[in-house]
Chains A and B, each alone.
Chain A
């Protein structure tokens, strides 16, 4: 606990939409959405589209009439572009405060108490970051500042929603009555960590606004909701309980799955898809220096087409010993697939989950294990990851991954990879 802490939360407004607009200036002020994998639902909306009442996650097919009427443009998600732009924003922020937690693709927490004096206070620092990110990347951001992460998040909400703040809200710069006034005006479900369901339960306790929650005794909240909610109340009171998570804890499971762009019928295509997934999962596994104890494989048809024959199966294959060898993982996938595959179905999704993870260094060797082979295998896997990292994904892959990749996700209207691909750079005359 550190009461002198100060946090900033910087997030990009309508991130995916804003990325598209940086490289396609004609899209400014045009209502637009970015769609999820397989062009299913709206995962990012421009302000114009929000004003039309389109909700987050609305299926694109349900918007077609509205789109026609208002000229809404829809883009497939271009994750390559978004990841590159996200990295640029993080690089710029790190120059301001090296103590930084990338919370999601479009938001970062910064520890700023050390650097505040250098920049003349929170509002000045926030404006500088906002101005620089705007100029350097073309992306609009909002900055919220407060003595805890939860308050920084709340300040960010005000910066975004209340025009008076012009994109930067430092709670420390407000008077106590002003702060309480904003808290009284904001619904409790806007608090970080309070979902809609919790908000309904809080309403039963007559807690409706952020201020109501802040003024509830933490012990009373703990009785009903547990320690997590108690911590939120403490944080709203300015007692910092959550630090930056600069080291992400190793994941307990690693998942790789995708929906197919079109129905897949053959075991060969399923095997190709699953091999690609297990290759990616294997990379992640080795990157966090873990070993998998078991491989979980699942395949399923499209549950949203109830008139089609449905099939849905999964199988967990325990490995003879914990491993991070893509070839062994791939073999396990094949064993599982042969057992669960049934012909005559239109498969929509397939996935692999690596589970029962352990730390690579703590692994004990089996009595009959060949350590020479193991060392050579580890080197091979390392080389494989190294080549793929430096020369682009899929430079080298196991033969089972296949070469056709016909089952990849549908992205009918993806914008060019403007920043990462020589053949797709923006053109100037």
Chain B
């Protein structure tokens, strides 16, 4: 039995969900810009801060023990677990079940977690208290509060 139906073209012509993009280049009237192909580029803070996406985590900083390294209370830090911690890296370490953010000092067989603030003591590690690195700090993110 023949059936009546309209041609289904209208449905396929539906507008697609195109994401908004900012144009980062000037358009010169008349000529297409040679940079027109780059309209997809925009500044992405993830690109800037994250090298190894599946290995990157964010931590919240509490306290001022790293003030000397410009890491303040309330800052968010970017932590990359794929990196092998080296001498002088700022790291997240696990000490007695808690997280601490400190600078790794690793020289002449002596391992310490050093604060960057003279008001705090270094944590000295030993065979009884081995170093447990959670990840290497590779960035700091902070939003500034406006006055008023």
Contacts and interface: CB of A to CB of B under 8 A. Distances in A.
Interface of A: 25-26, 87-89, 91-92, 132, 135-138, 361, 363-367, 369, 371-372, 374-375, 378-379, 382-383, 385-386, 390, 418-419, 422, 425-429
Contact of A428 (B4, B53, B101): B101
Interface in B1-52: 3-6, 8, 10-17, 19, 52
A382 B16 contact: yes
Contact of A374 (B5, B11, B15, B59): B11
A372 B9 CA distance: 12
Given A136-B82, A364-B5, A26 B60 contact: no
B98 A429 contact: yes
A136 B4 contact: no
8 contacts: A136-B82, A371-B10, A375-B10, A375-B13, A418-B57, A425-B59, A426-B59, A428-B61
Contacts of A419: 57-58
B100 interface: yes
Q: How large is the interface on B (under 10, 10 to 19, 20 to 34, 35 or more residues)?
A: 35 or more
A162 to B, nearest CB: 28
A137 B55 contact: yes
B105 interface: no
Interface of B: 3-6, 8, 10-17, 19, 52-55, 57-63, 65, 76-77, 81-82, 92, 94, 97-101, 132, 134
B17 A382 contact: yes
B63 A429 contact: yes
Contacts, number: 106
A226 B99 CA distance: 55
A371 B7 CA distance: 10
A25 B57 contact: no
Contacts of B77: 428
Contacts of A425: 58-60, 76
Contacts of B5: 364-367
A364 B2 CA distance: 13
Given A26-B97, A137-B55, A383-B17, A427 B60 contact: yes
A227 to B, nearest CB: 38
Given A429-B62, A429-B63, 4 more contacts: A25-B99, A25-B132, A88-B53, A429-B65
A361 B81 CA distance: 45
A375 B17 CA distance: 13
B55 A136 contact: yes
A135 B82 contact: yes
A137 B62 contact: no
Given A365-B8, A428-B100, A378 B14 contact: yes
Contacts of B94: 25
A390 B17 CA distance: 12
